Amino acid sequence: MLSIAFVLGTRPEIIKLAPVILEVEKRKIKHTIIHTGQHYDKNLSDEMFDSLDIRKPDINLDVRTKIPHKQLSEIIAKIGETILELNPSIVLSVGDTVSVLASSLACIQNEIPFGHIEAGLRSYDFTMPEEINRRLVDHMSSILFAPSERAVLNLNYEGIDPKKIYHTGNTVIDSIRIFNELIHEKKTDSADNILEEIKEPYILTTIHRIANVENKTNLEEIVKTLVSYNEHSIVLLIHPRTRKKLEEYDLLQQLSQNRKVHLYSPVEYLSLLKLLKHERCLFVLTDSGGLQEEASLLRKPCITIRPNTERPETVEHEINFLVKTASSQIIKKIKQVLSEDFEHRFNSFGSPYGKGYASQKIIDLIEANYKILSHKSPENYRSGSKSFYILELGTSMEKEAIEEQFQCQLISTFDENGYPKLIKDKLKKGDRVRILRD
């Protein structure tokens, strides 16, 4: 009988796993919710689970250390013991946190299938811990659920077995579709209080990324921006780590110099959606990953204080703008965004992350495949091991014909200019194919 263990450790993971958990509950599939404690605040976590209509975690691993390597090792040890006892059919996690990396490592060591939701996102920035985490996790996963075609291409390009990869869309879009309808039915006190206090147009702001908050120079530039910009109100949802660093660098008091800067603790998800979609919200200023997607779906422009993003589709459609951590450049970009009309851009953006039904696709795939997911030992290879080769097609060929003729597995494809393409059933003359063969 199918049984699923969900592992989560941060607020974004709760948000993105919530629709998958609801789908599992709807189908009456046996499941266990495990909270690692990576980012744990009892009141806030309980509020999150309540507002999203999912039960509180069955198991809390109570990991308290914030030192990255100690946190990773402690979660691995505790997750390993827990999943050995539970012996689930599959463990599911979403994203790129320490909790996700630890879960995948514990699973591969104990030969338990692991499914990675939001697989294939890439910033190609190896200074980001998240980039390291997601790459490692993808290569250890038994089944990968990619949120976009770009994510599928990234996984193909890295040589991951295409049979493990499924394009499902992103569950954060499911969350918006499902929970957006509950805004008027459930309590959104946090948002209501903010909207009652701020009657004028505002910029919704979140800053939490390590490169920004733990680098004093970068954090000073962001504070300088918030203090000097006074044309509109700024709603700053202040992450605990951000607050700690602002205090440590003696920057928190500076924010009070601008009466238009309003500081608030993080809000529950329904309140976040309410603040984001409200007509008085002008745009989003952030360094978050998920908020870029949420803003794009709710038709709000976004300025991302980062040199890169794992959501490049939003940048290509010019609804999301990357900006360096420099006050003058951030303010310049704010003025640019306020001066432009985005209606046509949002109309042409489409739905690169899906239409809000990724959860159903994911559970359908798990129900169809969980019995065959395993960590198999390799067969004996004639040449000692398999190797990658590049072929250029002299004629159009079916994918199956290529694999049969060359006794290989087709891993990725490129056009005549070398650009990666999604693997199709039929490939054209001039296409280059990367194959894996003995």
Q: What are the residue numbers of the active site?
A: 208
Tell me the domains of the chain and their CATH numbers. Answer: 3-170+355-372 (3.40.50.2000), 187-349 (3.40.50.2000), 387-437 (no CATH)
Per-residue pLDDT tens digits for 393-423: 999 999 999 999 999 999 999 988 888 899 9
This prediction has a pTM of: 0.93
Rounded to an integer, what distance in angstroms lies between the CA atom of residue 336 and that of residue 174?
Answer: 31
Both tokens assigned to 169:
């869309």
Instruction: Give Cβ neighbours of residue 122 (< 8 Å, ≥ 6 apart).
Output: 131, 134, 135, 151, 154, 310
Residue 43 has pLDDT above 60, yes or no: no
pLDDT of residue 44: 58
Residue 337 has pLDDT above 90, yes or no: yes
Per-residue pLDDT tens digits for 303-334: 999 999 999 999 999 999 999 999 999 999 99
Could you give the angle at the alpha carbon of 80 between the alpha carbons of 77 and 84, nearest 5°?
A: 145
pLDDT of residue 125: 93
pLDDT of residue 45: 67
Per-residue pLDDT tens digits for 88-135: 999 999 999 999 999 999 999 999 999 999 999 999 999 999 999 999
Per-residue pLDDT tens digits for 355-402: 999 999 999 999 999 999 977 777 777 788 889 999 999 999 999 999
pLDDT of residue 148: 96
Residue 268 has pLDDT above 60, yes or no: yes
Nearest to 17 by CA among 39, 32, 38: 32
